[in-house]
Amino acid sequence: MRRRQGLLMLCALVVCTAAGVAPPSAAPRRELRVCADPNNLPFSSERREGLENLVMARIARDLGADLTYFWWPQRRGFVRNTLNAGLCDVVPGVPAQYDPVLTTRPYYRSSYVAVSRRADGLHVTTFDDPALSRLRIGVQLIGDNGVNTPPAHALARRHIINNVRGFPVYGDYRRASPAAGIVEAVARGDIDVAFVWGPLAGYFAPRQSLPLDVRMLSVRDDPPGLSLDFDIAMGVRKGNAALRDELDEALLRLRPQIGRILDDFAVPRVEPSTAGR
Number of domains in the chain: 2
Of 113, 111, 85, the C-alpha closest to 212 is: 113
What residues pair up with 140 in beta bridges, in sequence order? 167
Q: Kindly state whether residue 7 falls inside one of the protein's structural domains.
A: no
> Do residues 71 and 114 both lie within one domain?
no
In the chain, which ranges are continuous DSSP H helix? 2-18, 51-63, 78-81, 150-157, 181-188, 198-204, 241-253, 255-264
pLDDT of residue 143: 61
> Do residues 130 and 91 both lie within one domain?
no
pLDDT of residue 63: 97
> Do residues 102 and 236 both lie within one domain?
yes
| pLDDT higher than threshold 80 for residue 19 | no
Q: Kindly state whether residue 24 falls inside one of the protein's structural domains.
A: no
State CA 227 to chain mean position distance: 19
Q: How far apart, in whole angstroms, are the C-alpha atoms of residue 203 and residue 182?
A: 12
| pLDDT higher than threshold 90 for residue 59 | yes
> Do residues 127 and 162 both lie within one domain?
yes
Cβ contact 82:91 at 8 Å: yes
Q: What is the mean pLDDT of residues 12-25?
A: 44
Q: What is the mean pLDDT of residues 94-109?
A: 96
> Do residues 161 and 234 both lie within one domain?
no
> Do residues 95 and 116 both lie within one domain?
no
pLDDT of residue 226: 81
pLDDT of residue 175: 86
Q: Kindly state whether residue 132 falls inside one of the protein's structural domains.
A: yes
Mean pLDDT of all residues belonging to the chain: 88
| pLDDT higher than threshold 80 for residue 27 | no
pLDDT tens digits along 118-147: 999 999 999 999 999 999 999 998 865 556
| pLDDT higher than threshold 50 for residue 189 | yes
Q: Kindly state whether residue 63 falls inside one of the protein's structural domains.
A: yes
Global pTM? Answer: 0.85
Cβ contact 51:262 at 8 Å: yes
Q: Kindly state whether residue 271 falls inside one of the protein's structural domains.
A: no
pLDDT tens digits along 212-252: 999 999 866 567 668 899 999 999 999 999 999 999 999 99
Bigger pLDDT: 8 vs 112: 112
- The enclosing domain of 76 has a CATH number of 3.40.190.10
pLDDT of residue 170: 81
Per the structure, the complete domain to which residue 127 belongs is given by 110-216
> Do residues 190 and 254 both lie within one domain?
no
Lowest-pLDDT choice from 22-26, 34-38, 163-167, 246-250: 22-26
> Do residues 210 and 116 both lie within one domain?
yes
pLDDT of residue 28: 72
